[in-house]
């Protein structure tokens, strides 16, 4: 007997749950329905990321590295299900493994004891900046997203990402991978929809600490700069990573963009 296949309906990934857009709007991507996120979804995602920020930052660097490595494992096992070329998936997996190795190296590389000409001990420690927004590029949809998510997570931040507008399916499939990869709810939040609608709402949110835009044009970059300046949100504009080398060649720059240095002074001999 013939049967009708159950057509897959994708959902947003917010707070560790798969949710429908509050607007109820959907776009078509091939044979699939893709939720079109709204400004309310952006606010919900930032709220979830803020609630998860302190617990995630409080985890040991070793544990965060384990979770990133587990995400790479889960992505490897789901690779045949992604509608992108295998070389892009392989590069994305390797990027996750690379930044998993950075988690316990941030402190010795970015921190240290500062030489001062005074009877004080001065030292600096790297800390996560908090909630990081990511405007992913249209191409490559998976590698371009992971190249920005991985350093943010490795540094102890939580993230809200607006997926590729042209090809959001790989980002939404990534949500299903993260859902089984021990990533705590709210640490990564993934939204599909129109960049023109979601990017300004994310950049202008006052509970965002940093935002990374990838492949945006000059006009879009200028608009994000203006919105972010109102709440002193850190901004990094980047070109899309199209290979593993692009994503890890400037790893320290990517990590520094989402890291704060806390410097302490202590009197010596007092």
pLDDT at 121 over 80: no
Q: How many CA atoms lie within 13 A of 218 on its CB side?
A: 0
Dist CA 210 CA 2 (whole Å):
52
- Residue 4 inside a domain? The answer is no
Contact indicator for 167, 265 with CB cutoff of 8 Å: no
Q: What is the length of the chain? A: 270
- Residue 7 inside a domain? The answer is no
Tokens of 25: 């709007």
B/e letters for 123-153, b = 16+ CB within 10 Å, e = fewer, are eeebbbbbbbbbbbbbbbbbbbbbbbbbbbb
Dist CA 159 CA 148 (whole Å):
10
- Residue 2 inside a domain? The answer is no
- Whether the full predicted model's pTM is greater than 0.75, yes or no, is yes
- Residue 45 inside a domain? The answer is yes
pLDDT at 118 over 80: no
- pLDDT given for residue 174 in this prediction: 97
Domain count, the chain: 1
- Residue 210 inside a domain? The answer is yes
- pLDDT given for residue 208 in this prediction: 97
Contact indicator for 10, 192 with CB cutoff of 8 Å: yes
- pLDDT given for residue 122 in this prediction: 73
pLDDT digits (tens, 9 = 90+) for 180-238: 999 999 999 999 999 999 999 999 999 999 999 998 889 999 999 999 999 999 999 99
pLDDT digits (tens, 9 = 90+) for 11-51: 999 999 999 999 999 988 878 889 999 999 999 999 999 99
Contact indicator for 44, 122 with CB cutoff of 8 Å: no
Query: Which CATH number belongs to the domain containing residue 165 in this structure?
Result: 3.40.605.10
- Residue 204 inside a domain? The answer is yes
- Residue 5 inside a domain? The answer is no
Query: What 8-state DSSP symbol labels residue 150?
Result: H
pLDDT digits (tens, 9 = 90+) for 164-177: 999 999 999 999 99
The average confidence (pLDDT) of the chain is: 93
Domain span at residue 220? 12-267
- Residue 195 inside a domain? The answer is yes
Task: Quickly state the pLDDT bin for 269 (edges 50, 70, 90).
Answer: low
Sign of CA dihedral 254, 107, 74, 17: negative
pLDDT digits (tens, 9 = 90+) for 144-164: 999 999 999 999 999 999 999
């Amino acid at each position: 007997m013939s049967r009708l296949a159950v057509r897959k309906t994708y959902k947003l990934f917010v707070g560790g749950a798969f949710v429908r857009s509050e607007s109820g709007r959907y776009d078509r991507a091939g044979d699939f329905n893709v939720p079109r996120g709204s400004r309310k979804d952006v606010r919900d995602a930032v709220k979830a990321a803020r609630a998860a920020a302190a617990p995630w930052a409080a985890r040991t660097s070793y544990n965060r590295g384990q979770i990133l490595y587990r995400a790479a494992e889960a992505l490897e096992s789901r690779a045949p299900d992604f509608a992108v070329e295998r070389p892009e998936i392989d590069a994305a997996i390797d990027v996750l493994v690379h930044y998993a190795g950075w988690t316990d190296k941030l402190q010795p590389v970015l921190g240290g004891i500062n030489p001062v000409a005074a009877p004080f001990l001065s030292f600096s420690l790297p800390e996560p900046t908090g909630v990081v927004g990511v405007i992913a590029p249209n191409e490559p949809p998976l590698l371009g997203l992971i190249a920005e998510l991985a350093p943010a997570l490795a540094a102890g931040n939580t993230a809200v990402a607006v997926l590729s507008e042209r090809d959001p399916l790989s980002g939404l499939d990534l949500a299903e991978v993260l859902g089984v990869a021990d990533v705590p709810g709210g640490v990564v939040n993934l939204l599909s929809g129109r960049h023109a609608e979601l990017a300004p709402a994310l950049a202008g949110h006052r509970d965002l600490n940093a935002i990374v835009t990838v492949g945006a044009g000059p006009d879009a970059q200028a608009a994000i700069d203006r919105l972010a300046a109102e709440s002193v949100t850190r901004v990094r504009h980047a070109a899309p990573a199209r290979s593993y080398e692009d994503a890890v060649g400037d790893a320290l720059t990517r990590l520094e963009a989402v890291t704060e240095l806390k410097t302490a002074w202590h009197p010596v001999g007092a």
